[in-house]
Amino acid sequence: MKNILSDIQKVILVPIHKEGWKFITIFTVVTLILAMINSYLGILGIVLTSWCIFFFRNPERFIPTEEGVIVSPGDGKVNSIEKNVKVPEEFDFDKSINWVKVSIFLNVFNVHVNRVPIEGKVERLFYKKGEFLSANSDEASDLNERQSVLLKVKNDKTVIFAQVAGLVARRIICDLEEKQEVKTGDIFGIIRFGSRVDVYLKEEEIKLKVIVGQTMIGGETVIAEFV
């Protein structure tokens, strides 16, 4: 019984990402105003406020401790796995390198807090303005607004990951700084309100651990491991 109560408490008292509090406050104030006008409008406001709290939830994650594993930077579903792709144009790499891109689509009900996929040092950050196509479309990685991160890990290996805005998402938050040391699973940002994250890995360096359609848990699910 004690364990059941503890699990219920974790669900109800889940932490909220700092970006969410201003929206929760706005939704709450609007709900109070609507409730004074009409009780049915008040109920609608409560539903929307509850969704807002749900959207900005930041649940505890259990980060893998094995060396060389690369975890998902976000919750969602693997939308595609592409081989022999080019990295984002802002990063100048040898064209002969074969990259694998794993794309994870986040719907509006997924946790949108983003986590660092592996321990390393932030070598470069690049923000690019763009369109707001549906995040599960093939063109989204190249055409949509995005925040790309180049991460140097042990043995001079490289991981690139990107936050990509979607049809509804209009704000990318990235708290990383260049030359910053980060650990696997560290929280580094959030995307509002529906989006995708892309991870680029050198094909010869890794062994993939996921398939298309698989559900990801940010900071926990292993995407690949270095060989």
Residues 124 and 219 in one domain: yes
Q: Is residue 183 part of a domain?
A: yes
CB 71 within 8 Å of CB 64: yes
Enclosing domain of residue 146: 69-226
Strand order in the sheet with 146-153: 181-182, 120-128, 146-153, 157-165, 195-202, 99-106, 76-85, 215-216
Sort strands 195-202 and 157-165 into parallel, antiparallel or unpaired. antiparallel
Q: Give the Cα separation of 21 and 59 in Å (integer).
A: 15
Burial of 125 per CB tally in 10 Å (0-12, 13-18, 19+): middle
User: Which CATH number do you get for residue 202?
Assistant: 2.70.70
- Domain C-terminal end among 55, 79, 98: 55
Q: What is the pLDDT of residue 5?
A: 39
Q: What is the pLDDT of residue 6?
A: 43
Q: What is the pLDDT of residue 17?
A: 79
Residues 28 and 88 in one domain: no
CB 122 within 8 Å of CB 176: yes
- Domain C-terminal end among 33, 55, 77: 55
Comparing CA positions, the residue from 92, 82, 95 lying closest to residue 198 is 82
CB 113 within 8 Å of CB 17: yes
Residue-wise DSSP of 98-123: -EEEEEEEE-TTS--EEE-SSSEEEE
Q: Give the Cα separation of 41 and 63 in Å (integer).
A: 42
Residues 29 and 126 in one domain: no
Residues 26 and 127 in one domain: no
Residues 9 and 109 in one domain: no
The structural domain count of the chain equals 2
Q: Is residue 60 part of a domain?
A: no
pLDDT in tens, 74-97: 999 999 999 988 888 888 788 788
Residues 216 and 176 in one domain: yes
Give the residue numbers annotated as catalytic, written as ranges.
195
Q: Is residue 95 part of a domain?
A: yes
* Residue that is written with structure tokens 């009900």 in the block: 109
Residues 134 and 213 in one domain: yes
Q: Is residue 193 part of a domain?
A: yes
The pTM score is: 0.81
CB 97 within 8 Å of CB 157: no
Q: What is the pLDDT of residue 170?
A: 62
Q: Is residue 62 part of a domain?
A: no
Q: What is the pLDDT of residue 72?
A: 96
Sort strands 195-202 and 76-85 into parallel, antiparallel or unpaired. unpaired
Q: Is residue 61 part of a domain?
A: no
Q: Is residue 44 part of a domain?
A: yes
Residues 77 and 186 in one domain: yes
Per-residue tokens: 23: 């929206």
| Residues contacting 53, CB < 8 A, separation 6+ | 16, 20, 24
Residues 129 and 89 in one domain: yes
For the chain, residues with pLDDT lower than 50 are: 1-12
Task: Please name the helix (run of DSSP H) or strand (run of DSSP E) that holds residue 222, with its range, or none.
Answer: strand 222-226
Residues 46 and 83 in one domain: no
Residues 118 and 18 in one domain: no
Q: What is the pLDDT of residue 196?
A: 86
Residues 46 and 112 in one domain: no
Q: What is the pLDDT of residue 93?
A: 83
